[in-house]
Structure formats: structure tokens, C-alpha cells
Amino acid sequence: MSFLDKLSARMPFGKKEEVLEYFFALNISNEKLSAALWTIEGRSLKILEEASQACSSLDDLVPTTDKLLDKVLGIRELNVSKILFGVPSSWLTDGNLKEENLKVLRGLVKELELKPLAYVETAHALVHFLEKQDSIPPTAVLVGFEQNHLIVTVVRAGKLDGVKVVARGDSSGASIEKALLTFTNVETLPSKILLYGSETSELKSQLLSYAWMSKLSFLHFPKIEVLQPEMEIKSVCLAGASEIKGDVHYTEHHEEKTVKKVTAFTAAQEEGEANGKEEKAQEAAENLGFVVGDVSEQGKETKTEPESESEEKPFESPSSFGSELALPEEAVPTSEHKLSKRRFLPKLPKSPVKLAILFGFIAAIGIILVAYLFLLKAEVKVFVEPKVLEKETQVTADPKQKNVDEEAKIIPGQMVEVDVSGTSKAASSGKKQIGDPAKGTVIIYNKTSESKSLSKGTTLTSSGLKFTLDVSINIASQSASDSGITYGKTNATVTASVVGADSNLPSGSELTVGSPSSSQVSAKAEGNFSGGTSKDVTVVSDEDQKKLLASLASDLRRQARQKLQEKLPGKKILEEALLEDNVKKSYSKNINDQASEFSLNLTIHYKGTAFEDKDLKLIVGKLVTTQVPEGFELNLEGTETQANVSKLEKDGKLIFLAKFKAKLMPKINKDELVNKIKGKSAKEADKILKGMDNVLGLDIKLTPSLPSILQRLPVFGKNIKLEVGLK
């Protein structure tokens, strides 16, 4: 930005109002549609409104979309016609829309009179959103919850291993397990599960108690987190914004009550800007698996004449100097207006004092000019565009290795171990009845001609309630007399099997004896049963203990990594690679103990392998050196590395998948460049530098600061400090 531009930007008048273009976004999932109204302000994505509605049939796609777009538009007086689509993985084959789904989108845009921008696979958009948010490619299991389905996505180092859709069962953990078991090509699952969709907060506590380690190939108990609401439609919007304008970031935006004035586009402006944005989107489309353009044209094969390359204007970044002001040419006097030169020739003063002042003034001017030449200094920062090479390979950190083996991709490792202890509390959620069982006396009848014996603990039943004999008994056989048959009988005491007043039977209640049939032995209550009482109390459940253990173990793992990192500041320690070698745990309450809360004391001995990041970068250098194009050089210090643990062997060998993002810097001869720009004006230097390949912009700072009309770079190259870097 020039000095005059900066000045006008601070004025309360004369500012140009930013012209914003607005877009729709529509995400299509198995059971619902989500829509959004969004725009780009500077480098920020602004989502003005979101809405969603259930929709599981393609027949309802058009009317439901129409309602949602009306809802997100609301009362805003905007003319929005361009729409971006997020589509499920099942709609794609080899990255392209299936023909039947392509027809669906064609019909939708035609019916609603919309212009399609592009479509993106929702899974890819989610991965891109997480990478933007965390500044590193994600490694995680993504689980999307719908009413009847789960969408399970496995992503490692920013790359999709696959997307599975399964029916949602009674146990969410079991449904996720079912989906993950189909990923047979994944040896070790990422130890992080990210939840999005409906009811995720309630489901998180459920999943924390699931037995992941015994059922699936996790290296350690997975960390479970809940992503922000409406994650899918936000991810689709960010993917579209990134394709239109490159490095765009998203932050939560709450629209103010006053509606911002929108400057209308002229037809020419809209068409020109749209073409420019679409060209930019087309160039970067492959980064996200993005397909750009009118879906109505996809799949049609047409032969076109090759178009000549359009001239591209070089990118002009704002200059820190003011534009040179064009001064009006002085009017040249005609002959009739010429005056005697004598009138304008100054006369030297004859006074010595005046002569001294004059020569002093001339000397001062000379000193200032010399100082200007020798003392003027400049700092020039040249911003270049790097090329990025991405590579991934399996690397082993071996404690027995002394030096980096670039061929075998083995780096020296160091065994580390630490004990970490901690205490945590949790509320109990189990329920249990406590109280006393009912007791009473029964008469037991023997209806056979042989005596019967019943042992202690024999079960008697009445209306589903169970009782047991307190003692063993013998019952005499039945006997015959003139009046008929008399059953053998005896009295015995019984106790209810469970506590509660329900077992307080009234006198005369019939009971069935367990082993003999009722035709042989029967029983009847002798008097009322009594003593049965109960009440509900809160107890510690097995699930309560598992949740607290998982939560505290996760905290201790983080503490272990921090402690080891403090001891070894120059080393890299992966939290996921720390193994629990020995665990000592002590609960304050056992399972089924009555308590409103309980605590856990936990001590874990962690073992792992540390390594140096510089050793990893040596492997990078070996891998990418042969792929550096002419005119570029590898900037090893600017290389980004990421490690995803595969396994830690018993001998301490750490095997992990290393992903590298190497930045290749353009080669620039600084001395030659300084010679080109020395003594030039800021505008001339700007033109020279921007005419070079891979230069995005520059920043010039002069010391001392001078008015813009006097701003020139030093004539001596040694007074120019030139730095080359990234914007």
C-alpha cells in the first residue's frame, strides 16, 4: 500500500466499500440436508446462517433444499445464485460423481435456477477443516452420528483410509467397532476418536467406558473428543472458500442485528470476478478432491480448439512507499515574454559576514548530501513463493543405533521411562436396593405314601417371589383313616431371596416347592410374613470405575510426556508411543458399594523411545534431494514433520509413519539483486523485483525515514540489507 493509500485509508471519507459476493452451500448426507449462507471477508470465512432438515429421500431433495435456502437467506436483500455442494462418499466413484447422482444435482440447480460452483466429498472437507484448525494433517477416527446410521472415517496423516456407513445399534461402541473391523488394511488404528453430529455430548461418556483395547488394534486407550456443532456444513464452506481465495481461515461469527450494506455487482464486474475466482479454484482443485464448475457439464465429451494462454498480470503487493507525484511541466516563455537574465542573476554580498553565511550554507548542503549517500541504509525483504514437496515413509527409531542410516531409514533412539501418579474423583451413577428380606412360617404337606426330606435352601415360590428353607426338614407320609386320607405335614421357617416389602405374604398364601411336583408336596403360609423392607441407594457401578480409569489414565499420559520432554528438551517424544508398563490402581469404593462419589489413586510406569527431529530431517533431505527442480534449493530448517505411531516393540524400537512437508526455496543471487536495485527509487525497485520468477512481493524500510519524493535506495550496495523469506 502506498503512502497516499495509507493516508486515504485513515480518512473518514473517500473509502471504497468492500464488495462482497455471497454463496449458498448444501451438504447432502444419508438422512438430512444442511445449508448455509457464506461469504469471504479478507482472509476470513463468514458463515451468516445455517439450517438443516431431515431428508432421506431423493424425491424430497428439491423442495427441502428450496426451504433451507429460503431459511438461511431470511430477510436479507441479497441476490445469491451460486451454490457449493458437499456430497457423501457413496455418491462418488474414483473421485467423480456417479451418473445417477450427477443427474440429481443437475435437476436441482435447474429447478431452483442456481449456478453450481463445485462439489466436494464431505469426508475430504472434514479432514481439510481439521488440518486448518490444528495446523497439522489429522490422524483420527471420525464418527458422525445420525438418527439411524453412523459414518465412520479413518484418516491418517491427512489421508483417508476409507469411509464406512453402518446401521446404528443399541450400543454405539459396538456399532463403531463393527465399522472399524472392516478396515483390514489398517494395522494400528489412530488413538483419537472425534465425534460430530447429534447427541455427541451424551454419547462421549458412553464411549469412554467401552472396552476398546480388548476389541480393536488401538495402541492405547483412544482419546475421545466432540467436534463443534454443524461440523459438516462448516467444513464444506471452508473447503469452497479455500479454493476461491487460497489461505482462508474460519472463526465462529455471530452476525450483528444491523445488516451490512451490500454493494450490487454490475453484470460485467460479476462475470469478471466470477471468472477470476473460478480459474483460481480450478488451479487448486486437486488439493481437496474438489471438482469445480457446472455440474451440468460434467461427463459430456466435447472437442474444443486449444485456447491461447491469456496474459497474466504479475502479483503486485502493496509498496511501503508513496507513489511518485507527477509535477506539471513549467510553461516555457515565448520570445515576447522573455526577460533580461540580468534581473535574475543574484549579486554576491560584499560583506565578509554575509559571505561566510553563504559559504556555510553551501557547506551544510554538501555535508547533508554526503551524509545522505553514506548514512542512508535500507532493509529489503523479498517474499518468495516456495514449492512444497510432500513425502511419507516408514522410519524406525532404534535405541541401539548410533548414527542415522539414511538408506535403511533408521535413526538413533533413546529409551525413556517415568512413573506418574495421580488422584481423581467421580460421581457414582449405579442404583441398588438395600433392606431386609421377609420371613415367615409355612406348613409343608406330603401327599405321597413315602416320607419326604427337604434340605436347607430349598426354593419355594409364590407369585414369582422366591423363598428358601432356613433348615432341613422331614415330612411324614400320608395316612388313611375312616374319614379319608390325611396328608403328612410339618412346619418350617422360610426367608425371602430378595429384600423388599413385596415378599410380606398374607396368611394362607399358596407356595410351590421347587423339586417335587405340586401333586406330591405343597406349602401354605402359616400366618402373615413380615420384616421385608427396601430402599433405593446410589452405588458405584462397573461402568463408573472404567470411566474414571480412562479419564485419569489419559491425564497421566499427558503428564508423562511433559515430564519426559522437560528432562530431554532436545528430543521428540510421541505421546501415542508411551506404553503402560505397570499400573497400580486403588479405588476408594468397590463395585456395588453405597456411595455418592468415589476416588481413584493411580500410578502408571510409562516406557517409550525418544528421538531427535534433526535426525528425522536428514531422512527427509535424502528422500527429496533428487526431486528438487532446477532453480530451487531445499530449506531443511523449514521442513515440517509429523509422526504417526505404528508400534513400539519390546526392545524399544519405535516404528512410525513419518510424513514430511519440505519447502523448496527459489535460488536468488542476493549480490546480483542488490546491484540491480541500488540507487533506484522504491517504485523502480518494486518493478525489478516483481518481474522475477517466484517473487510474490517485497517490503522496503529506509533509515532514516524520508519524504516519499526523496525516497531512493542507497547507492552503495553494502548499505542494503536484503533478506529472502516466505510471506
CATH for 147: 3.30.420.40
For residue range 370-394, what is the model confidence (pLDDT) as tens digits? 666 666 788 888 887 777 777 788 8
Q: How many residues does the chain have?
A: 727
What does the pLDDT read at residue 359? 75
Residues 6+ apart with CB under 8 A from 14: 8
Q: Assess whether 143 and 66 both reside in one domain.
A: no
Q: Is residue 38 part of a domain?
A: yes
The amino acid sitting at 683 is K
Query: CA nearest 224: which of 168, 268, 176, 264?
Result: 176
720 CB-contact burial (10 Å; exposed 0-12 / middle 13-18 / buried 19+): buried
**Contact at 8 Å (CB) between 384 and 695?**
yes
Half-sphere exposure of 724 (CA within 13 A, CB side): 19
Confidence of residue 727 (pLDDT cuts 50, 70, 90): low
Q: What's the rounded Cα separation, in Å, for the pair 657 and 708?
A: 54
Range 483-495 average pLDDT? 90
- Cα separation values, 560 from 265, 564, 567, 604, Å: 58, 6, 11, 9
First to last CA, the chain: 15
- Cα separation values, 463 from 482, 517, 518, 587, Å: 36, 16, 15, 40
**What total of structural domains would you count in the chain?**
5
Q: Is residue 645 part of a domain?
A: yes
For residue range 277-304, what is the model confidence (pLDDT) as tens digits? 444 444 444 444 445 444 444 444 433 3
Domain boundary, last residue among 196, 229, 262: 229
Half-sphere exposure of 20 (CA within 13 A, CB side): 20
Q: Is residue 331 part of a domain?
A: no
For residue range 350-367, what is the model confidence (pLDDT) as tens digits? 567 767 777 777 877 777
Q: Assess whether 579 and 493 both reside in one domain.
A: no
Q: Assess whether 534 and 567 both reside in one domain.
A: no
HEC secondary structure over 606-628:
EEEEEECHHHHHHHHHHHHHHHC
Q: Assess whether 586 and 499 both reside in one domain.
A: no
Q: Is residue 267 part of a domain?
A: yes
The phi, psi pair for 214, rounded to 5°, reads -85, -10
What does the pLDDT read at residue 500? 92
Q: Is residue 475 part of a domain?
A: yes
Q: Assess whether 468 and 395 both reside in one domain.
A: no
Q: What's the rounded Cα separation, in Å, for the pair 686 and 316?
A: 9
Query: CA nearest 488: which of 456, 520, 455, 526?
Result: 520
Q: Assess whether 441 and 518 both reside in one domain.
A: yes
Query: CA nearest 151: which of 193, 208, 184, 95?
Result: 193
Q: Assess whether 119 and 243 both reside in one domain.
A: yes
Query: CA nearest 649: which of 420, 419, 415?
Result: 415
Element (H, E) at 86: strand 82-87
Q: Assess whether 648 and 636 both reside in one domain.
A: yes
Confidence of residue 310 (pLDDT cuts 50, 70, 90): very low
Cis peptide bond prior to 306, omega within 30° of 0: no
Q: What's the rounded Cα separation, in Å, for the pair 251 and 239?
A: 14
Q: Assess whether 629 and 674 both reside in one domain.
A: yes
CATH for 492: 2.40.30
What does the pLDDT read at residue 288? 42
For the ranges 46-60, 79-93, 247-261, 685-699, which has the lowest average pLDDT?
A: 247-261
What does the pLDDT read at residue 120? 92
| DSSP one-letter code for 717 | G
Rank 2-11, 222-231, 596-605 by mean pLDDT and report only the highest. 596-605
Residues 6+ apart with CB under 8 A from 464: none
Domain boundary, last residue among 292, 309, 339: 292
Domain that includes residue 596, residue range: 417-428+540-610
For residue range 48-62, what is the model confidence (pLDDT) as tens digits? 999 999 998 888 999
Supply the Cα-derived Rg of the chain in whole angstroms: 41
User: What residue has cell string 447427541?
Assistant: 199
**Contact at 8 Å (CB) between 87 and 122?**
yes
Query: CA nearest 726: which of 700, 687, 697, 693?
Result: 697
HEC secondary structure over 89-157:
HHHEECCEECHHHHHHHHHHHHHCCCEEEEEEEHHHHHHHHHHHHHCCCCCEEEEEECCCEEEEEEEEC
For residues 342-357, one letter each, b for 16 or more C-beta atoms within 10 angstroms of the residue's C-beta and e for the rest, the string is eeeeeeeeeeeeeeee
Q: CA torsion, points 96, 97, 100, 106, in degrees to nearest 10?
A: -130
Q: What's the rounded Cα separation, in Å, for the pair 508 and 283?
A: 91
The phi, psi pair for 533, rounded to 5°, reads -135, 160
For residue 102, the tally of other CB atoms under 10 A from its CB is 17
- % of the chain beyond a pLDDT of 70: 80
| DSSP one-letter code for 266 | P
What does the pLDDT read at residue 322? 31
Pairing of strands 510-513, 521-530: antiparallel
For residues 693-716, one letter each, b for 16 or more C-beta atoms within 10 angstroms of the residue's C-beta and e for the rest, the string is ebbbbbebebeeeeebeebbbbee
Range 239-264 average pLDDT? 65
What does the pLDDT read at residue 683? 78
Q: What's the rounded Cα separation, in Å, for the pair 482 and 549?
A: 75
Q: Assess whether 621 and 709 both reside in one domain.
A: yes
Residue, of 693 and 441, whose pLDDT is higher? 441
What does the pLDDT read at residue 253? 59
Assign 559 to helix, strand or coil.
helix
Q: Is residue 9 part of a domain?
A: no
Output the nine-digit C-alpha cell for 322.
Answer: 508513496
Strand partners, 51: 35
Q: Is residue 271 part of a domain?
A: yes
For residue 73, the tally of other CB atoms under 10 A from its CB is 18
Domain boundary, last residue among 610, 643, 660: 610
Q: Is residue 311 part of a domain?
A: no
Q: What's the rounded Cα separation, in Å, for the pair 182 and 186?
A: 9
| pLDDT over 80 at 37, yes or no | yes
| pLDDT over 90 at 466, yes or no | yes
What does the pLDDT read at residue 559? 93
For residue range 203-223, what is the model confidence (pLDDT) as tens digits? 888 888 888 888 888 878 889
Pairing of strands 22-28, 82-87: parallel
Interior angle at CA 536, CA 533 and CA 542, nearest 5: 130
Query: CA nearest 35: which of 84, 80, 79, 104?
Result: 84
Q: Assess whether 244 and 386 both reside in one domain.
A: no
Residues 6+ apart with CB under 8 A from 13: none
Mean pLDDT of the chain: 79
Q: Assess whether 570 and 689 both reside in one domain.
A: no
